[in-house]
Amino acid sequence: MSIGLFEQEILRREAMAELRKLGIDPYPPEAFEVNVNAQDIKDNYERDKTSYKNISFAGRIMSRRIMGSASFAELQDSTGRIQAYINRDEICPGEDKTLYNTVFKKLLDIGDFIGVKGYVFTTKTGEISIHVSEMTILSKSLKPLPIVKRDDEGHVYDGFTDPEMRYRQRYVDLTVNPEFKHIFMNRSKVINTMRNYFDSQGWMEVETPILQPVHGGAAARPFETHHNTLDMPLFLRIANELYLKRLIVAGFDGVYEFGKMFRNEGMDRTHNPEFTAMEIYVAYKDYIWMMAMVEECLEKVALAVHGSSKVKVADQEIEFAGPYEKLSMYDSIKKYTGIDVSAMDESALRQTCKDLKIEIDPTMGRGKLIDEIFSKKVEEHLIQPTYITDYPIEMTPLAKKHRSKEGLVERFELFVMGKEIANAYTELNDPIDQRERLEDQLLLAGRGDEEAMAMDEDFLRALEYGMPPTSGLGIGIDRLVMLMTNQSTIQEVLFFPQMRPEKKAKLPSLEDFIAIGVPAEWVPVIQKMGFNTVEELKAANPNKVFNDLGGMRKKMKLEITMPQKEVVMEWFS
RNA sequence: GAUUUGGUAGCUCAGCUGGUAGAGCAUAACACUUUUAAUGUUGGGGUCCUGGGUUCGAAUCCCAGCCAGAUCACCA
């Protein structure tokens, strides 16, 4: 493996070997005690200089400026960067200057982790720096990091910007572009704020199955897998709603879960196959109560992340303090199209879609047609937080029928910046009604609707034992984080967004070469010489190959044993 | 899935109407005791994404494929 690399990586491996020869372990096992971080020094040193006279700091070397027997290096820890001043005669007080001349100047590289002890001071040019008196190598970096340079105004000169590499190698991205860490720190803050709020209300965090025999609770195509011992198919959950409701049946007054959901559908900048949802169910409440709860919750989140209920997103300023605007689904369509769809039957809706130039297909029922009109004509207008309420019953098999409006259910969705952020119901707890509604879904499935909800007999049995009136809410955490961190793609708020596998260099199998007697460590050399298959190698002149192997060994400074000539000749026999 | 843009050194990118590859940073060597995008001098470093085709000759033109981004469609 080590030979597909080139000079910089070979040099670093040599430096690592040199360190070992000098008796320095490039990967020491001992803990290195740290008593300060970069942010702390920068924030507090000027005020309190006496506290920084004996510090111990650890981080990565991110740049070096060597000037003879004095040097500057930028060290980066989890909180930021701080400059270190290293003077030869200070870290090497005796005759032996090896630690500076050889170890620091020759054997250390950008990316290495080191620990330093010393004191904080301000340089002539006014930079708060660490004056190093002792230096310890903590971990050697064998691959060169991309170098990102910034000037005083913060201009970036050689940015590490390729999104493919940033997502595939997030460890490199966050090392050289540490500003992106704030997105993930804020993501954590969003989740913790919600969790603290729920806990303070006395609701309980729970975990429910990810592997489910029936994929219920939402409309989406699932990932399917198989359990060997039970010899049965299982689905990765597309939702956890039905399990959380079982817990309300079981007698908990409030339960919530943050968890990954999995949907086997398209990927784009707002969809990843696995994503995080938060669902919460509270007994003895309805969807009107839930609206107020959401307003309180999101305001707390905005305050935690930004210190303000107002959040800048793209070119808008979003106000997360409630109350939010409320608009029924029918009214919203009327508002933005001028059309009253409330009394239309399926064929009238089809005509309306045609008039509005909205594509439809024959499998769509009344609910889906209305949803199409809504998503094409209304969603984009909903910039400030807006509740869309009272959905047609056909679209929502798990919500309770509206207390006063025929044909509707008690449901709301919260839209911000034209995107759905939350979805909530007064939950359907009438087991007879629930069974009928799921049976209607089966009819839709029969019409070819791949997303119609499946029947879940055990869930119906739970309802038959009795579920208290309950309101439930789901929030898409990734999209909420996108809003709170002003990001336009979901990949930027996921550490490891889903990617196609990296293409592998099309190398023939190691085994083929080993089979004809080539030592494993020489296979990469042969490949580097241009022989990609055993056949190509055998077609070459054996003497030339033998000579070239020696040449490559020297050129690439390989420390592996040269094979005997007779051995090489046998490769060709 | 459709359209479109891109894939060249470790990183960011040049490379015209086809003539066998360049810069900056990084890296190596030398100089330099307070620099900060350090500087100066001198080097090394490439399967130009892959596979076909056209051509005397392809990083460049054509076709197919792979990966990624954007837009759209689908999907909450």
Considering all nucleic acid strands, name the nucleotide whose C1' atom is nearest to the C-alpha of residue A527.
Answer: B47
Residue A301 has pLDDT above 50, yes or no: yes
Considering all nucleic acid strands, name the nucleotide whose C1' atom is nearest to the C-alpha of residue A164.
Answer: B68
CA closest to C1' of B76 belongs to A420
- pLDDT of the residue at A507: 46
pLDDT tens per residue across span A418-472: 899 999 999 999 999 999 998 888 887 777 666 677 788 999 999 999 999 999 9
Q: Rounded to whole angstroms, how far apart are CA atoms A138 and A509?
A: 36
Q: Dihedral, CA atoms, A440, A446, A448, A454, nearest 10 degrees? A: 60
Residue A3 has pLDDT above 60, yes or no: no
A334-353: average pLDDT: 87
Q: Rounded to whole angstroms, how far apart are CA atoms A462 and A431?
A: 9
- pLDDT of the residue at A540: 63
Identity of the amino acid at A311: V
pLDDT tens per residue across span A121-158: 999 888 999 999 999 999 999 999 998 887 777 777 77
A304-325: average pLDDT: 92
Q: pTM of the predicted model, to two decimals?
A: 0.86
Q: How many CB atoms lie within 10 A of CB A283?
A: 18
- pLDDT of the residue at A97: 86
Q: Which long-range contacts (CB under 8 A, 24 or more apart) does A21-27 make?
A: A22/A98, A22/A102, A22/A103, A24/A103, A24/A137, A25/A137, A26/A137, A26/A139, A26/A140, A27/A139, A27/A140
Q: How much is the ipTM here? A: 0.87
Strand partners, A282: A254, A471
Residue A553 has pLDDT above 70, yes or no: no
Question: Edge-to-edge strands of the sheet including A419-426?
Answer: A204-205, A254-262, A274-283, A470-476, A419-426, A408-416, A386-392, A325-328
Q: Which residue has the higher pLDDT, A509 or A246?
A: A246
Residues 400-429 of A with CB under 7 A from strand B: 413, 420, 423
Identity of the amino acid at A151: D
Show the beta-strand stretches assigned E in A374-450: 386-392, 408-416, 419-426
Residue given tokens 């055998």 in the structure block: A538
Q: How far is the CA of A415 from the C1' of B3 (A)?
A: 29
* H/E stretch holding A431: helix A431-446
Rounded to whole angstroms, what are the CA distances from A144 to A61, A110, A360? 12, 7, 53
